[in-house]
Each structure stands twice: as structure tokens, then as C-alpha cells.
Amino acid sequence: MTTATAAPATTPHLREDLLTPRFYTTEIEKAARTDLNGQRPAFEAMLNEMETDYNRDHFDRKAPLDRLRDLSPEEKQAYESYLVRSCVSEFSGFLLFKELSRRLFQAERPELGRLSQLMARDGARHAGFLNRALVAEGLTLDLPKLSTRRPITWFPLSWVLYSVFLSEKIGYWRYILIDRHLKANPDNNFAPLFDFFEPWCQDENRHGDIFNMLIRCWPGLRQGLRGRLLSRFFLWSVFLTHSLTVCERGDFYRILGMDPAGFDAEVMRQTNRTARRAFPWVFDLEGSRYLELRDRMVACHQALQTGKAEGAGPLRQLGRRLHFGGLLLEQFLQPMVPASAG
């Protein structure tokens, strides 16, 4: 369900497709009824940690973010595309947390409002650094204008809790794995922006822990068939989006000296393992065909994109779409295991 309509996007490197970052809202009145009593010690500890802001001094706003070496035109485009998508994604999180904060304060839930306000602070900080890196590339991204031009998508609160937990945790593993790779291979570190990925990922990890706590404030979200379906759908959909984004736009990771498919698989493994702390069920990634189906889906998706660019006939594209849909269903139905089993 959308609450606004979008004008054609003119943002550089931000083409309109299913993988484009979106802006979201949710059932804020319901969020204001969150019962913290069962999670009060965890909530207070997380609020205190956010107030302390351990990363305050780790983000030097005056640090130059210009690239350290020249890139080919194709490499430059891949890097800039990564910056734009990441910046829009961080700004989307900032807007969600900001709106939550404003409305929760209005609903007289100041403790929840303050926690959301502090998460918005982190999102604004990240988006600001990415925007500065874009300026260093000679690109200007008008984030406030972009937020009024793109649609706002409404999700139920349960969907937001599950999806934001996963997006924060998958973000943590993306940033920390890139950071570890570049520390082991410093010759591939071509931009000062990457030096901020370690404190950056700690913010993502902390936000994920907060949403884990919020999920536990709504016990029904983790119980019975509902918990199993939510676990399956959101793990699958977040992993699918990540796989298509990383493998389809793999040039950026190859500039860093990383194998896109291998990076994607490791991010999924680590995120799936982390999800055991929050979800009742997780995928059996090693004991199923999940990753094999990932490879086939990525190849089919790339064939669809190539066919579209080359003007392939509708029947040929229909056959590819049906094949892609079959692969999606087969992966969605891959075996899961109880989180308590590992």
C-alpha cells in the first residue's frame, strides 16, 4: 500500500526496479502500545548505550573522502552506484526512525521516542558520510527532495520489526566483512570512506539488537505458525534482495578484490546464524539447495535483464519469468530448522 505517488526519478545511478531502496512507514499507534515490562533491563541498557554514543569520536566530519586512486569509467560508475544506493537506504532508515520518534513522543512514550531519535541520529550520520563521498565524486544527491518524490510504502508493525532487524544485521555483516577484507588486503582500499566501516557496522549491530528486543516485546510474533511464516518470508525476501543486488551489480565488489557470489553467501550464512537470536526458525543453508538455487535465480534474473535490454520477444521473456518464478518458489520452500537446534 502506498500513500504517495512518485514522479520520474532523476537521481544518478538510481534506476527504478524492485531492488531500488524504498521509504517506509508503519502502524505507529500500535508501536506506541509496545509493552516494555518484560524487556525493561535490556531496554534500559540499550538506551544508555545509545545515549553514550561510543562512535561519536570515530566519525570525523572533516576527514577527506576523495578517492585514493583513479578508476576506469566502468569502475567509477559501479562505485558511484554503490554510494547512491547505500545513501538512499541509510536516509530511508533515518526518515523511518525520525517519524517514529516524533509520533512516539506525541503518544507520550518518551522512552521509545528517545530510542528512535538516537537511531535516527546514527542513520543521518551514515547518510551524511555517503553523501559527502558522492560530493567528492562530483555528484549531488538532494535527499530531502528525493524523499518527497518517491512513494512511501506502508507495512504492518510486525513486518517492520522483522525486516528492520534483518536489514540492520545484514548491514552489519556486509560492513564488517568488507572491513576485514580491506584490512587484510590494504592495496584494494581505494577510498577513505571504507575506513569508517568498522564503527559504522557497530551502529548497525546495535540497532539490530534493539529490534530483537522490540520483537520480544510482542511474544506472539515468535510463536506458532505465525512465527514460522514470518521467519521464512523475511529471511527469504531479504536474502533474495541481497543476492540479486550483490551478484547483479558485482563490479563494485570486484574492484575491492572480492568475489560477489562468495561475499553474498558468507553474508547470508552469518546473518542466518545471527537470526537465531531473534527468530524461532532459520534456513538450513548448508543442508539444502538454497545456495544452488541462488546461483540459478541470479543467472535467470540476469537473462531477463539482458533480454529486456536487447528487446527479446514477449514469449521468450514470459518463459524466463515463469522459470524465475518457479525458482523463487522452490527456494522459498527450502527446509528450515528451529533456532534452538543450533
> Residue 18: what pLDDT?
47
Residue 3: count of CB within 10 angstroms of its CB: 10
Spatial neighbors of 179 by CB under 8 A, at least 6 apart, are: 194, 197, 198, 201
Q: Which residue has the cell 558468507?
A: 266
CA distance 81 to 74: 11
At residue 261, the pLDDT reads 95
Which grid coordinates are listed for 179? Answer: 572491513
d(CA 222, CA 262): 31
Residue 60's pLDDT is 78
Q: Which residues contact 136 (CB under 8 A, 6 or more apart)?
A: 64, 65, 66, 67
What pLDDT does 8 receive? 35
Neighbouring-strand partners of residue 152: 23
And the C-alpha cell for 116? 528512535
Which residues lie below 8 Å from residue 35, measured CB to CB, with a gap of 6+? Answer: 217
pLDDT tens series, the chain, 342 aa? 333 333 334 455 555 554 466 778 899 999 999 999 999 999 999 999 999 988 887 787 788 889 998 999 999 999 999 999 899 899 999 999 999 999 999 999 999 999 999 999 999 999 988 999 999 999 988 888 877 777 788 899 999 999 999 999 999 999 999 999 999 999 999 999 999 898 889 999 999 999 999 999 999 999 999 999 999 999 999 999 999 999 878 999 999 999 999 999 999 999 999 999 999 999 999 999 999 999 999 999 999 989 988 888 888 889 999 999 999 999 999 999 999 865
Grid-cell match 569508517, residue found: 196
Q: Please say whether the beta carbons of 120 and 113 come within 8 A.
A: no
- Specify the pTM: 0.90
> What is d(CA 336, CA 287) in angstroms, rounded to the nearest whole number?
10
SS3 annotation, 82-103: HHHHHHHHHHHHHHHHHHHHHH
Please give the C-alpha separations between residue 221 and each of 97, 162, 168, in angstroms, as whole numbers: 21, 9, 19
Strand partners, 336: 283
What's residue 71's pLDDT? Answer: 93
Report pLDDT for 10. Answer: 45
Sketch the domain layout of the chain as residue ranges.
7-156, 218-342
- Write out the three cell numbers for 269: 550464512
Which pLDDT belongs to residue 320?
Answer: 92
Question: What distance in Å separates the CA atoms of residue 216 and residue 218, rounded to the nearest whole number?
Answer: 5
324 with 277: CB under 8 angstroms? Answer: no
